[in-house]
Structures are given as C-alpha cells and as structure tokens.
Amino acid sequence: MANKSFSFKIIPEIIFGRGAVEKVGQESRKRGGSKILLISDEGVAKAGLLEKVRQSLFKEKLEVIVFDKVEPEPWVETADEAGKMARQENCNLVIGLGGGSAMDVAKAASVLATNEGKASDYQGLDKVPEPGLPKIMIPTTAGTGSEVTFTAVLSNKEPKGKGGINSPYLFPELAILDPLLTLSMPPPVTASIGMDALTHAIEAYTSLQASTISDALALKATELIAHNLSQAVADGQNADARENMLMGSLLAGMALANAGVTAAHALAYPLGGLYRIGHGVANGLMLPYIMEFNLESSLKKFAKIAEAMGEETRDLPLKEAAKRSVIAVNKLSREIKVPRRLRELKAGIAESNFPEMVTSAMKVTRPLENNPRKLAEEDAMAIYKLAF
Ligand SMILES: [Fe+2]
C-alpha cells in the first residue's frame, strides 16, 4: 500500500516481561501516585493477582483503595461509581488490573474523577473536556488490547446497547504486561479473548485506515496469535505460549488503536449489546464470515494473513492463497472450540431477531466505514443468515 498521510498514536511506555508486575509500586510513585484507586474484578482478586499488585504498592508505602466490582460487559453506572470513589477519596492515580472490562472502567474512572459529567455523557468521539488522573493498565488476559487504546466500551440500559468513550485522555500513561498474570485464565476465556485479539489484528490489517506502521504490528500479531493460541488453550501453564499471546494481543491493540476495526466488530456489537454475548465470543464467531465477504476487496492482504497464520501459499494463485486465510481461521476456531454459529449460542437468538440486529449493527458506523468492502443492510442480513 502506498504511504498515504497518517498520524500514529501510542502510549508513552510499555513494560513487558515475566515478573514485570512487581514494578507497579515504583512506577506509580514515579508518576506522582500517593493514593491509588485500584480497579479490578472478583475473578482477578480470587486468583490472587490483586494481592500481588497491592503488595508492590504497599512496599512503596502508597495508600490503596480497591474497587473490585467490575462486571463483564460493564455498565456505565459502574464507571460512574468508580469515578465517584476516586473523587471522594482524593486518589491521584488509577490502576486497571484485569481484562478489557476492568481496564475500560479504570480508563473511564480516571477521566470521571476530573470531569463533572457522567460516563454516558462522554460516550462518542472526543467528548471528554479535561484530562484525567494518570493511569496504569495491567492486563490479566490476552487480550482486548485495552491497555494501549483510547477507548472504554460501556453498556447502557436505556437505550439498550453499548458505546465507547473515545478520547485521547483515555490513553494510559503506562502499560505493564506480565505474562505470568495470564497463566490462570481458564481455557474458554483464553480461547474467546484470543479470538478477539486475532480479530483486532486481521481487522486492523485490512482496515481502510491501515498504515505501514499498523500493518507491521498487525501482521506480526496475526502470526503470534495463530501460532500460540491453541497451545495456550490446551495448556494454560505454557509460559512461552502465554507470553507470545500477550505480545500478540499488545501489538494487535496498538494496530487497532490507529487503524481501527472493521465489520466483524460492527456485526458482533449487537450480540453483546442486545444479548450480552461476550465480546470475544461474538467477534470470533463473526470474523470468518466477514473475511469471506471482504476477500475480493483485498486479495493480497488476505493472502499475507494466510501466510502469517502458517498456511502454505507459495504456489497458489492469489485468490486461492487469500481463501486460505478464512480456512486457517476456521481451523483455529474448531481447534479451540469457540462457537462458530449463532444457533450454538445460549442466548437463544432466532432468525426473527435479525432485523433488530441488522439495525443495531448498521449504527456502528466507524468500523463499517473502515471496512474494505462496502457493507449495506442487506449484506449484514445475508451474513447473519450465513452465520446462523
Ligand atoms: Fe475487540
């Protein structure tokens, strides 16, 4: 692709490595933290990871307030509550520890602590008036990539759905990635969140907003995820596979923060917003159908994806090589046993729900605008039918 003009945004610092979490105390102090709001969830606390972070903060004699009530697909009210806590307790630094949900709530809380409005006032693009508290993200899954993005996705009850707060003030000052924190992730979570990371990589790579920088990150991410996800699912204690997955998810996150995502995320959105299907499950399910739809628009890129995923493509005509990318994704989904059809989901989605899903998906305009092939309402309907 020609190098059209673009800007590329990344967070100021990333610390990566086994045992890296032990540095969180020092790093918080360095960034002016004295009273820390530590945002996490019950699962992370039960796995003993919250205590690890707390110990490092105590070592530096920092005061710690814990908010561990983040639920999956968190509500706007949860972010409001966390932001209120940061304000009331006069916290001066926020740490998000967990998967995308905990990190998104932490990112939102950091700006809600310094801005007057509610989380729902800021859903949209560039609506946050003032910078937030400094924030450090520590993912325990691989991953949503939330540790390096400027988005916090939150659920709304009225009207029912999901919406992101998208603001440069949500970029964390630091991400600490410690693969050892991801060892306790159970296989189904590893599988579905890993598929989210793969979706980020493939969608950022094929997005109309892609640049040479995001392409380099996305392609390497695709390779790392494709070669390590099955191993991480089969044996959670495989530290090499876990480390490669965390790196893959990080690179995919950086690519997506700049190139955006495309139609798989748009068509997955209603599954989460209307039926509370997990983000990773929804994306992993939609991904191969969207790839199939997009194939013709970008044969070269899909052939590169196939190659990065380990498919033998050298002697194949371009179109055949490109098709191998879809075959590779389907093979991987089967191996790691993620749902591959809408009818398999426990939410009980029926074909009669499709019109509502299509209407909802078509409102996810930015990913649809990034899609390499124009996707109209009737295409969305046809894709849901294929995926049923
Ligand atoms: Fe995602």
The pLDDT assigned to 160 comes to 81
- Residues 178 and 191 grouped into a single domain: no
Return the percent helix, strand and coil in the chain, to nearest 5: 60, 10, 30
Residue 370: its H or E element: helix 365-370
Inform me whether the pLDDT recorded for 321 exceeds 90. yes
- Residues 80 and 115 grouped into a single domain: yes
Q: Which residues are paired to 152 by β-bridges?
A: 165
- Residues 171 and 41 grouped into a single domain: yes
Inform me whether the pLDDT recorded for 113 exceeds 90. yes
Is residue 2 assigned to a domain? no
Q: Are 311 and 325 in contact (CB under 8 A)?
A: yes
**Which of the four pLDDT bands, split at 50, 70 and 90, describes residue 241?**
very high
Rounded-to-integer distance, Cα 173 and Cα 93, Å:
10
Contacts of 205 (CB under 8 A, 6+ apart): 214, 215, 218, 219, 222, 255, 259, 301, 304, 305
Rounded-to-integer distance, Cα 131 and Cα 301, Å:
38
Residue 225, token pair as written in the block: 């995820």
Is residue 7 assigned to a domain? no
Q: Give the model confidence (pLDDT) of 60-81 as tens digits.
A: 999 999 999 999 989 999 999 9
> Given the DSSP bridges, would you call strands 161-166 and 35-39 parallel, antiparallel or unpaired?
unpaired
Q: Average of pLDDT values for 14-22?
A: 98
**Which of the four pLDDT bands, split at 50, 70 and 90, describes residue 315?**
very high
The pLDDT assigned to 195 comes to 98
How many domains are contained in the chain?
2
The pLDDT assigned to 162 comes to 84
**Which of the four pLDDT bands, split at 50, 70 and 90, describes residue 300?**
very high
- Residues 254 and 350 grouped into a single domain: yes
CA of 265 to the centre of ligand 1 (A): 7
- Residues 215 and 168 grouped into a single domain: no
Full domain range(s) for residue 303: 187-387
- Residues 361 and 229 grouped into a single domain: yes
End residue of a domain, out of 134, 156, 182: 182
Rounded-to-integer distance, Cα 49 and Cα 82, Å:
20
The pLDDT assigned to 273 comes to 84
Q: Give the model confidence (pLDDT) of 325-362 as tens digits.
A: 999 999 999 999 999 999 999 889 999 999 999 999 99
- Residues 178 and 248 grouped into a single domain: no
The pLDDT assigned to 143 comes to 87
Inform me whether the pLDDT recorded for 122 exceeds 80. yes
Rounded-to-integer distance, Cα 318 and Cα 295, Å:
11
CATH number at residue 163: 3.40.50.1970
Q: Are 371 and 377 in contact (CB under 8 A)?
A: no
CA of 49 to the centre of ligand 1 (A): 24
Counting beta carbons within 10 angstroms of the beta carbon of residue 51, is it exposed (0 to 12), middle (13 to 18) or buried (19 or more)? exposed
In Å, what is the CA distance from 123 to each residue of 68, 108, 162, 173, 296?
23, 10, 9, 21, 34
pTM (two decimals): 0.96
CATH number at residue 193: 1.20.1090.10
Inform me whether the pLDDT recorded for 2 exceeds 60. no
Rounded-to-integer distance, Cα 22 and Cα 28, Å:
11
CA of 377 to the centre of ligand 1 (A): 22
Residue 103 three-state SS: helix
Instruction: Select the more confidently predicted residue: 158 or 118.
Output: 118
CA of 5 to the centre of ligand 1 (A): 26
- Residues 216 and 109 grouped into a single domain: no
CA of 269 to the centre of ligand 1 (A): 9
Q: Which residues are paired to 35 by β-bridges?
A: 63
Inform me whether the pLDDT recorded for 180 exceeds 90. yes
Residue 175: its H or E element: strand 174-177
CA of 264 to the centre of ligand 1 (A): 9
- Residues 216 and 274 grouped into a single domain: yes
CA of 58 to the centre of ligand 1 (A): 34
CA of 119 to the centre of ligand 1 (A): 20
Average pLDDT, the chain: 96
- Residues 121 and 218 grouped into a single domain: no
The pLDDT assigned to 3 comes to 59
Inform me whether the pLDDT recorded for 188 exceeds 80. yes
Is residue 5 assigned to a domain? no
C-alpha closest to that of 262 among 151, 374, 379, 371: 371
CA of 238 to the centre of ligand 1 (A): 24
- Residues 174 and 251 grouped into a single domain: no
Residue 65: its H or E element: strand 63-67
Q: Give the model confidence (pLDDT) of 20-40 as tens digits.
A: 999 999 999 999 999 999 999
